[in-house]
């Protein structure tokens, strides 16, 4: 409601004591009646403040009251004439100094009549706006249901609003955008989304403002969600722009739900593929079939990544969603990452650069708080060595757990142990090598239960110390010597020789 409409109502008999034609074009958002000397804490801007002036005992108090009302952004002051037989001159002068429109309310006009008129007009306007908003959102939803893509929705809203719009994931991956943004702006948008106490929020880069809106319920973890970022500060927008952006947020939520449903359908296939790889079947034909069914081309170099929250097994699905998002930064659009869960950790298989994958992941660090997400990746390997790549990724994550920070990421390129060497060997060759070296020992244990394998592993882990092995396994030293002697007889290796000891160590790690 405009001030002009209020004072133009003949039934109320209101008079303008201060305010020009431009002031009468002010919009009244609500009405607030008060006799407090300082009501500013209860005002949020745009109100018509009605007062009987019972607080006034001196011109100084008039100055104090008017300054508080004007400073809070009120649209105007409606002052009752009943107490003083008119509006005191010092109140009028204070309103002139602070450029606050002043309206006199005659004694015969009740404040409730003024309030009823304003509230009725504002409520009607809000109802009309709500109806228009719902109509626009229905039109958008109908268009989307008919096949309009999110990219088209973003482009249309950006054109109608005259400002850049984009839908982004928590790692800054572009889902749809009217125009790209520079990297520093993208990083600020992501950080604002992940850390703002309340959303929507406004962030600024080099003087330019950007508004960030959450997509989906407020209770959802932000690090697995989407957000909408639009040029400009949302409090300054007109109603039409605000409604258009609200529609975009709703459509983005719908699109995200659709994609999430597709991921849930493919989840069982992904889990099967990860299980085959984890159990040494990375080079089997059925593994390639599962990867193809999940949409991934298994013929090129592939990276394996594992991730989990430290001491939070309940967040394994969040870890899965994070890997999907981060890996999608580096995978071609027609070959999405395959992400499953095994042994309490999320595992991803994808083509792409593990270093770029790590950069995307680290954008989530501001959202973790007291949580720790540790991640390990392999270097790219051919499909015949996928099981070894998973071992390398797990080893890299073990190393990440020993590092500081909320989100340490270790890549296979940082590993210098035998794990990297074994991972580069095709899975069938590693299994064949282990079988040739250790098959006689395994068979002997199966027949007799002699515990030779356990003793051998402890012997190598204790650097060949008889006494430490005996202490660890609670055996007599002579028993340890006897068992190691049997291992040497069955394998044809001399554990006193470094080269033979390395053969047995690598064979154990290749099982």
Q: Is 177 exposed, middle or buried (0-12, 13-18, 19+ CB in 10 A)?
A: middle
Q: Model confidence over 418-431: pLDDT tens digits?
A: 555 565 566 677 77
Q: Model confidence over 179-190: pLDDT tens digits?
A: 888 999 999 999
Q: What is the pLDDT of residue 466?
A: 87
Q: What is the pLDDT of residue 347?
A: 95
Contacts of 492 (CB under 8 A, 6+ apart): none
User: Which neighbouring-strand residues pair with 80?
Assistant: 105
The torsion defined by the Cα of 488, 494, 500 and 504, in degrees rounded to 10, comes to 20
Which range (328-332, 336-340, 425-429) has the least confidence? 425-429
Q: Model confidence over 450-487: pLDDT tens digits?
A: 899 999 988 888 878 888 889 989 999 999 899 999 99
Q: May I ask the CATH class of domain 427-509? A: mainly alpha
Which residue in 81, 64, 73 sits closest to 28, CA to CA?
A: 73
Q: What is the pLDDT of residue 140?
A: 57
Q: Model confidence over 351-407: pLDDT tens digits?
A: 988 889 999 999 999 999 999 999 999 989 888 889 888 988 988 888 888 788 999
User: To 5 degrees, how large is the angle CA 140–CA 141–CA 144?
Assistant: 85
Which residue in 412, 399, 422 sits closest to 305, CA to CA?
A: 412
Which letter does DSSP use for residue 336 in this model?
P
pLDDT at 135 over 70: no
* Domains 3-118 and 147-256 equal at CATH topology level: no
Which residue in 148, 153, 184 sits closest to 166, CA to CA?
A: 153
pLDDT at 227 over 80: yes
Number of residues in the chain? 511
Fold for the domain defined by 3-118: 3.40.1390
For the ranges 119-128, 213-222, 321-330, the one whose mean pLDDT is highest: 321-330
pTM of the model: 0.60
> How many other CB atoms are found less than 10 A from the CB of residue 287?
24
Which residue in 412, 411, 316, 424 sits closest to 371, CA to CA?
A: 316
Q: Model confidence over 290-302: pLDDT tens digits?
A: 888 888 888 889 9
Instruction: Sort residue 497 into left (φ over 0), alpha (ψ -120 to 50) or beta.
Output: beta
Could you tell me how many helices (H) and strands (E) the chain has, helices first?
Answer: 17, 15
Q: What is the pLDDT of residue 151?
A: 85
Fold for the domain defined by 261-419: Alpha-Beta Plaits (3.30.70)
What whole-number distance in Å separates Cα of residue 499 and Cα of residue 490?
17
Does the domain formed by 147-256 have CATH 3.30.450.30?
yes
The three-state DSSP-derived secondary structure of 407-464 is: CCEEEHHHCCCHHHHHHCCCHHHHHHHHHHHHHHHHHHHHHHCCCHHHHHHHHHHCCC
Reported confidence tier of residue 130, pLDDT bands at 50, 70, 90: very low
Average pLDDT, stretch 246-275?
Answer: 83
What whole-number distance in Å separates Cα of residue 346 and Cα of residue 368?
17
Locate tokens 């949580």: which residue? 371
H helices of 146-238, in order, are 150-161, 183-195
- Torsion over CA: 373, 225, 200, 165 (sign): positive
Q: What percent of the chain shows pLDDT beyond 70?
A: 91
User: Which neighbouring-strand residues pair with 411?
Assistant: 377
Average pLDDT, stretch 275-288?
Answer: 88
Q: Is 201 helix (H, G, I), strand (E, B) or coil?
A: strand
More confident residue, 443 or 153: 443
Which H helix or E strand runs over 345?
Answer: strand 345-350
> How many other CB atoms are found less than 10 A from the CB of residue 238?
9
- Torsion over CA: 169, 174, 179, 185 (sign): positive
Reported confidence tier of residue 194, pLDDT bands at 50, 70, 90: very high
| Domain locations in the chain as residue ranges | 3-118, 147-256, 261-419, 427-509
Q: What is the pLDDT of residue 148?
A: 60
Cα–Cα distances in Å, from 361 out to 8, 194, 332, 337, 346?
A: 61, 13, 18, 15, 14
Reported confidence tier of residue 313, pLDDT bands at 50, 70, 90: very high
Q: What is the pLDDT of residue 482?
A: 92
Reported confidence tier of residue 139, pLDDT bands at 50, 70, 90: low
pLDDT at 67 over 70: yes
- Residue-by-residue DSSP string for 194-243: HH-SSSSEEEEETTEEEEEEEES-TTS-GGG-EEEEEES-GGGS-HHHHH
Q: What is the distance of C-alpha 93 from the center of its chain? A: 53
Contact 188, 209 (CB under 8 A): no
H helices of 279-415, in order, are 285-293, 316-328, 354-362, 386-401
Cα–Cα distances in Å, from 389 out to 104, 134, 420?
A: 81, 52, 8
Cα–Cα distances in Å, from 347 out to 134, 206, 266, 323, 386?
A: 42, 39, 14, 8, 12
Reported confidence tier of residue 145, pLDDT bands at 50, 70, 90: low
What whole-number distance in Å separates Cα of residue 93 and Cα of residue 77?
13
In the numeric block, which tokens belong to residue 95?
A: 């309103």
Reported confidence tier of residue 157, pLDDT bands at 50, 70, 90: confident
Average pLDDT, stretch 174-181?
Answer: 90
Contact 427, 384 (CB under 8 A): yes
Which residue in 404, 401, 402, 424 sits closest to 412, CA to CA?
A: 424
Beta-strand pair 208-215/409-411 = unpaired
């Amino acid at each position: 409601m405009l001030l002009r409409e209020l004072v133009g109502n003949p039934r109320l008999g209101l008079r303008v004591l201060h305010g020009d034609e431009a002031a009468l074009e002010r919009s009244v958002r609500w009405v607030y009646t008060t006799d407090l000397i300082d009501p500013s804490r209860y005002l949020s801007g745009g109100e018509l403040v009605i007062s009987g002036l019972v607080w006034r005992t001196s011109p100084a108090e008039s100055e104090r009251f008017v300054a508080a009302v004007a400073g809070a952004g009120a649209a105007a002051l409606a002052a009752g004439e009943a107490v003083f037989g008119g509006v005191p001159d010092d109140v009028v002068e204070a309103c002139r100094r602070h450029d606050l429109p002043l309206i006199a309310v005659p004694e015969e006009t009740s404040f409730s009549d003024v309030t009823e008129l304003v509230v009725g007009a504002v409520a009607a306007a809000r109802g009309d706006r709500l109806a228009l908003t719902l109509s626009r959102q229905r039109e958008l939803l109908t268009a989307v249901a008919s096949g309009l893509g999110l990219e088209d929705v973003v482009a249309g809203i950006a054109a109608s609003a005259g400002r850049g719009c984009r839908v982004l994931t928590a790692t800054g991956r572009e889902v749809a955008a009217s125009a790209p943004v520079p990297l520093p702006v993208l990083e600020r948008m992501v950080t604002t989304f992940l850390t703002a106490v309340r959303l929507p929020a406004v962030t600024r880069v080099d003087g330019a403002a950007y508004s960030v809106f959450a997509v989906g319920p407020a209770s959802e973890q932000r690090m697995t969600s989407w957000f909408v970022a639009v040029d400009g500060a949302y409090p300054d927008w007109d109603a039409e722009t605000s409604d258009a952006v609200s529609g975009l947020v709703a459509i983005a939520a719908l699109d995200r739900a659709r994609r999430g449903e597709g991921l849930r359908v493919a989840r069982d296939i992904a889990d099967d593929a990860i299980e085959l790889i984890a159990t040494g079947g990375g080079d089997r034909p059925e593994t390639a079939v599962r990867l193809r069914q999940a949409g991934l081309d298994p013929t090129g170099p592939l990276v394996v990544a594992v991730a989990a929250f430290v001491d939070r097994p309940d967040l394994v699905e969040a870890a899965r969603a994070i890997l999907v998002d981060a890996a999608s930064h580096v995978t071609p659009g027609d070959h999405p990452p395959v992400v499953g869960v095994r042994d309490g950790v999320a595992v991803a298989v994808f083509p792409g650069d593990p270093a770029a994958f790590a950069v995307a992941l680290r954008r989530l660090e501001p959202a973790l708080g007291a949580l720790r997400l540790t991640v390990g990746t392999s270097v790219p390997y051919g499909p015949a060595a996928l099981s070894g790549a998973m071992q390398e990724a797990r080893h890299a994550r073990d190393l990440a757990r020993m590092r500081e920070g909320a989100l340490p990421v270790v890549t296979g390129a940082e590993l210098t142990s035998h794990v990297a060497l074994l991972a580069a060997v095709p899975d069938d060759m590693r299994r064949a090598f282990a079988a040739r070296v250790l098959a006689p020992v395994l068979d002997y244990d199966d027949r007799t239960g002699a515990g030779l394998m356990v003793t051998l592993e402890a012997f190598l882990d204790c650097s060949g110390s008889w006494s430490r092995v005996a202490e660890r396994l609670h055996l007599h030293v002579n028993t340890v010597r006897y068992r190691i002697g049997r291992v040497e007889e069955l394998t044809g290796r001399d554990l006193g020789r470094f080269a033979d000891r390395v053969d047995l160590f690598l064979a154990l790690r290749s099982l």
